[in-house]
Amino acid sequence: MQLTRPDLARILDRSVGRQPTAELGWLGQPPSRARVLRERVVLGPAASLAATADALFGWHVHRGAGLIILPTGPADVGTTVVQAVRVGPLWFAAPCRVVDVVRTPDEAGFTYATLPDHPETGVESFRVLRDGDRLVFEIHAVARHDFWGSRILPRIAHRVQDRVTRGYLTSARG
The mean pLDDT of the chain is: 92
The alpha carbons of the chain give a radius of gyration, in whole angstroms, of 15
Q: Residue 121: which CATH number?
A: 3.30.530.20
Residue 169 lies in a domain: yes
Residue 113 lies in a domain: yes
**Dist CA 58 CA 120 (whole Å):** 23
Question: Is residue 163 pLDDT above 70, yes or no?
Answer: yes
pLDDT (tens digit per residue) in 79-114: 999 999 988 888 989 999 999 999 999 999 999 999
**Does any domain span residue 45?**
yes
In a domain, 1, yes or no: no
- In this prediction, residue 109 carries a pLDDT of 98
Asked if residue 72 is part of any domain, the answer here is yes
Tell me the percentage of the chain whose pLDDT exceeds 70: 94
pLDDT at residue number 94: 94
- 19-42 tens-digit pLDDT: 999 999 999 999 998 999 999 999
Residue 2 within a domain: no
Range of the domain at 92: 8-173
Do β-strands 90-104 and 68-71 pair in parallel, antiparallel, or remain unpaired? unpaired
* Position 143 in a domain: yes
The tally of domains found in the chain comes to 1
Question: Angle, nearest 10°, between helix axes 49-57 and 154-173?
Answer: 130
Identify whether 3 is part of a domain.
no
Helices (H), the chain: 8-15, 49-57, 60-64, 148-152, 154-173
